[in-house]
Chain A
Amino acid sequence: MREFGLMLGALPPVARKALAGALILLDQGARLYPPARGRRFARLDDEVAEAYVRALLARHDAAAEMTQRLKGVVTMCYYDLPEVQREIGYDPGPYIAAVSRRRLQAYGPQIRAGEAAVTAGEAAVTAGPSDPGPGQS
């Protein structure tokens, strides 16, 4: 929920209100979905909840569009959690640290020269790329 709140906070006020409203509609709208038997979305078991979402998406209208957006935001927030990422084998911290070290060990002098060239006269801006290649096409 914390991630969801933070993500909502990054949206412009109108989008924030629209998504919050859509969340309420999604939740309460389930009561009108016959297999839900009057229950709100939060109270549905997985199978009925999924069928309800699929039914909404199959409409190809504004409700489908909003459901799609909500699904995007909610799943993004869920898969942004480090513990969820580790569960699926994504743990970039140690990898980034290792390749960053490798970079500095292999190319330290060129990197330092390139960085220094940013604040140097035009003639000094000569720190070349890794491999300039045969030119652009």
Chain B
Amino acid sequence: MTVLTGLTGQAEITGDLNLECEAVVVGSGAGGATVAAELAGAGVDVIVLEEGGYHPTESFTAETGRALRTLYRDGGGGMAIGRPSVLYAEGRCVGGSTVVNGGMSWRTPARVLDRWAEHEGITAIREQDLDPYFTQIETRLSVGRQDPETIGRDSELFKAGADAKGWNIVPNQRNQLHCAGTNSCTSGCPTGAKRSMLVTSVPRALWLGARLFADCRVDRVTRSGSAVTGVTGHVARPGGRTGPKVTVRAGTVIVAGGAIQTPALLMRSGLRSVSGQLGRNLSVHPNAMVTAFFDEDVTGWHGVHQAFQIREFIDEGLLLTAVNLPPTMLAGILPAYGRELGALMAGYNRIVTAGPLVTDTGTGRIRNVPGLGPQVFYQLADADAARMVRGVELTAEVLFAAGARRVLLPFDGAPEVRSVAELRRLLARPVPKRSMQLYSIHLMGTARMSDDPRRGVVGSFGEFHGVSGLIVADASLFPGPIGMNPMETVIALAMRNAHRLIERRDRNRN
């Protein structure tokens, strides 16, 4: 097993931990690991606390159930309450969600950055401001296209369908070092080819002198007056048992637990935002899956998780992708039961799954509910529901164009559809929101940036308004959805916020 010097897991912690450092980072995902590596590189004494465990590359297999239990929060079964409810997944392990995401690495669209600059009161956020960070990230994480031999038949069919329709389809940019195409992205990459934080910024931060404590849950950010003094928490023992106490004293606290855990931690710590936006403004990029059956053997798991994106409808807030799901996940979401489900699953190797990702206009919120912890509430807006239906229709159309014989739609009670004409007839009738089976892996916006404290929770560089030394560095920062895979944006903002911290530190020293 790979042993990382500087990393301590729960088994090695036998008593209370009392630590001191210059900066403590909560979370080791895209934001946290990046900040830790940048700060450690500048000579800052950094401690990272990660609630999840350390699972090295060689422990990863294609066993989905094991992955859900060990790498995801709550077995990957988070649920945003609303009509319809939205199932969501968050990573919880060293490396965070980057360990279990699909490995798409796209820059923030310029139009999104322009909007943030012009309407959200954020400084130094334009394309030219972030370009140097994007360039650095793409080099460090080996961002590029797939080697051709790793593109599976499901992706080829998806592309053929888009080409037949004359739609704009682009090869994915992925953080991968000659990805083998094992299609195990969501269970942890078994080759280490996916350049997640686990194999990049985490070891880099440790190599540069940072210390990382896995299995350590942060309960509170501590303060004295309006300045942070550190964090307190506890060691998480197997089976959810509470272990020894953890106390870290630090003049700088960087919170990077993701768009649900970050506001939940800040609210638990008694922090409030004048804007009233802490824990609000949640976007989820709702998505849904269309399941298509082909006559030919597709064997979609022979090839990369996602190879292409249809960009034709991006201005409508729709991104279409084909994603191969392992049987464990597919069975859980197929709108079928009992023998019908068995019959569908028997044709697993002839299935292609694809779906729309919607840039949502509605928002949700996070609340800490006593006894239950952070709960997510999200109501799908009517306009977004309409876009979801359109996205499902377009996805089904492209799959028919690729040769699908029949498709299942992600709407409870919808009959199997065998032609485009049938599809259009069916979707001409209203689709009740409550029948939609929606998912999310992109959670954003719950500690939004703005230099105006009446509008944003944090400033342009993630600094919490009114509290000195407290920085946010994850997708909570986004003022709104970006309509694109968010990882590279999170990393760029985290890097930028870290550099601002380093500049200030250096100025104060001179």
Which of A's residues lie within 8 Å of B, judged by CB?
A: 3, 6-7, 9-15, 46, 49-50, 53-54, 57-58, 60, 65, 69, 71-73, 75-80, 84-85, 88-90, 92-93, 95-96, 99-100, 102-103, 106-107, 110-111, 114-115, 117-119, 125-133, 136-137
Question: Does B349 contact A90, Cβ atoms closer than 8 Å?
Answer: yes
In the assembled complex, B77 has its CB within 8 A of some CB on chain A: yes
* In the A-B complex, the 10 residue pairs with the closest CB atoms: A129-B144, A10-B75, A80-B65, A92-B62, A79-B331, A10-B69, A103-B180, A50-B338, A107-B178, A76-B332
Which of B's residues lie within 8 Å of A, judged by CB?
A: 61-65, 68-69, 72, 74-75, 77, 79, 85, 106-107, 134, 138-140, 142-147, 149-150, 170-171, 173, 176-184, 190-193, 195, 199-200, 203-204, 207, 239-240, 299, 301-302, 311, 326-333, 337-341, 345-346, 348-349, 371-373, 412-413, 432, 434-435
Question: Does A130 contact B184, Cβ atoms closer than 8 Å?
Answer: no
Of B142, B178, B327, the contact of A79 (CB 8 Å cutoff): B327
Smallest CB–CB gap between A99 and chain B, Å?
A: 4
Which residues of chain A are within 8 angstroms of B348 by Cβ–Cβ distance?
88-90
Known interface pairs A9-B239, A129-B144, A129-B145. Does A136 touch B349 (Cβ–Cβ under 8 Å)?
no
Of B140, B331, B435, the contact of A125 (CB 8 Å cutoff): B140
A118 CA to B149 CA, complexed, in Å: 26
Smallest CB–CB gap between B238 and chain A, Å?
A: 10
Which residues of chain A are within 8 angstroms of B190 by Cβ–Cβ distance?
96, 100
Q: Which of A3, A54, A96, A129 has the most CB of B within 10 A?
A: A129
Smallest CB–CB gap between B297 and chain A, Å?
A: 8
Which residues of chain B are within 8 angstroms of A107 by Cβ–Cβ distance?
147, 178
Count of A-B residue pairs with CB < 8 Å: 186
Which residues of chain A are within 8 angstroms of B434 by Cβ–Cβ distance?
60
Additional A-B contact list (13), CB under 8 Å, known A53-B337, A96-B180:
A6-B65, A9-B69, A57-B412, A76-B331, A88-B327, A92-B62, A93-B61, A96-B184, A99-B182, A102-B180, A107-B178, A118-B199, A128-B142
Smallest CB–CB gap between B130 and chain A, Å?
A: 11
Of A13, A80, A99, the contact of B328 (CB 8 Å cutoff): A80
Question: Does B142 contact A133, Cβ atoms closer than 8 Å?
Answer: no
